Amino acid sequence: MEQSVDTFLKEARDFLDGHAEHRPDGFPDAMFAQFRELPDPEAWRADCVAWQRLLYDAGFAGLTWPTEYGGRGLPSAYALAWADLESEYDVPRGLLGVTLEMVGPTLLAVGTAAQKSHCPAILRGEEVWCQLFSEPDAGSDLAGVSTRATRTDTGWRVNGQKVWTSEARHAKYGYLLARTDPEQHRHPGLTAFIIDMTSPGVEVRPLRQMTGGASFSEVFLDDVELSADAVLGEIGGGWAVAMTTLGFERFSSFGRSLGRLVRQASELGWPDQSTREKFLDAVIDQRALAAFEAGMHRRLVAGTPPGPEAALAKLATGMVVSELADAVAERLGPRLSLRDGTVDDWRLVLLSAPAFHIAGGTDEIVKTMIAERVLGLPRG
């Protein structure tokens, strides 16, 4: 019989207390890890992989994934309870975000049995994946992807360039969106593929971000050969596969992690009236976001999948990060540029803030989606 959520949570807390530091008021490092300048990216990779393996061995990985693919087959209430609890601890997270939250669920939703068989290795942390969607001329306008996959006797040959590919340099596999029908310039000409990132013709060039981190890469694909069974979903059905994935991406919940950031910020002291008011506006919005997400979680547990609400939460997350970053920047003033180690985390938050308005669909695109699909306003 399935254990109750309360019993599960007690076991989860015992596990986390035994393996991680409980810092509900500490800096939410997992939320900003991908932007940080890492002295040793390989060491970080190893820490993230080891943590995932530990979770798997203890039965805390893939809580909602089917048991035949290495998961626990539990209802989403358990995964949400775990995520809430884990957000109070310092754990090495970030490397496997795309793999666990987007690729794995997509494979489970549309993959063949052979493609789904990657899932246990994913849960054990043995396979890092990346998402090869964006291109220099196709970001918001994803249907404009021009990377070409042409048929060969044995499968497909791929040529093109991707950009902003998170964690590509650590990835063993990629989930690629390419154009298979050049006659179709938009959605119907696209197909999703699985690509081995060690294949001849794949070149990964890391890009340095303004935060100092280098989690993104440009990926060049030059006559990369794929077998016929690399197709994910239907040939010409890449748009539907991509939309399935982006649905998973928009359902992230950062409200509680932002609560940690608020508590960090309150320690700065806010003697000046106008900066204090800005900080308090950010605190109010963070509380509203956390309450909104809690309601979304309750509805999810009751069986209502997240729809447009997830887009609203995504917009609000970017807003709260920016409000907090701006208030802290005003509070610290020129001190924020000191490289003495005292303000590094805040500089990281300030320089990472724009990314929360871009990743997974820019604010403008998300607002258009809400206007058209939620409010039913006329299409622009």
- What contacts 119, CB < 8 A, 6 or more positions away? 62, 65, 69, 70, 71, 104, 107, 108
Q: Shortest approach of ligand FAD to residue 358 CB, angstroms?
A: 4
For residue 64, state whether it binds ligand FAD (rule: CB under 6 A). no
Return the sign of the alpha-carbon dihedral for residues 122, 128, 129, 130. positive
Q: Shortest approach of ligand FAD to residue 214 CB, angstroms?
A: 12
Cα separation, 29 vs 57, whole angstroms: 24
For residue 324, state whether it binds ligand FAD (rule: CB under 6 A). no
Q: Which stretch binds ligand FAD (CB under 6 A): 57-65, 105-113, 324-332, 362-370?
A: 362-370
Q: Which of residues 86-105 bind ligand FAD (CB under 6 A)?
A: 98
Q: Which stretch binds ligand FAD (CB under 6 A): 197-205, 308-316, 333-341, 356-364?
A: 356-364
Largest CA distance in the chain: 71
Is residue 286 within 8 Å of residue 316, measured between CB atoms?
Answer: no
Helix ranges (DSSP H) in 101-237: 104-110, 113-116, 119-123
Catalytic residue annotation: 249
Which SS3 state, helix, strand or coil, does residue 148 take? strand
Single out the residue of 73, 139, 236, 247 in contact with ligand FAD (rule: CB under 6 A). 139
Single out the residue of 76, 117, 322, 362 in contact with ligand FAD (rule: CB under 6 A). 362
For residue 164, state whether it binds ligand FAD (rule: CB under 6 A). yes
For residue 133, state whether it binds ligand FAD (rule: CB under 6 A). yes
For residue 69, state whether it binds ligand FAD (rule: CB under 6 A). no
Q: Which of residues 103-132 bind ligand FAD (CB under 6 A)?
A: 130-132
First to last CA, the chain: 53
Give the residue with the Cβ less far from ligand FAD, 272 or 364: 364
For ligand FAD (CB under 6 A), the number of binding residues is 19
Task: Name the closest residue to ligand FAD (Cβ).
Answer: 139
Find how far residue 260's CA is from the centre of its chain: 19
DSSP symbols for 258-309: HHHHHHHHHTT---SHHHHHHHHHHHHHHHHHHHHHHHHHHHHHTT----HH
Binding site residues, ligand FAD, CB under 6 A: 98, 130-134, 139-140, 164-166, 355, 358-359, 361-362, 364-365, 368
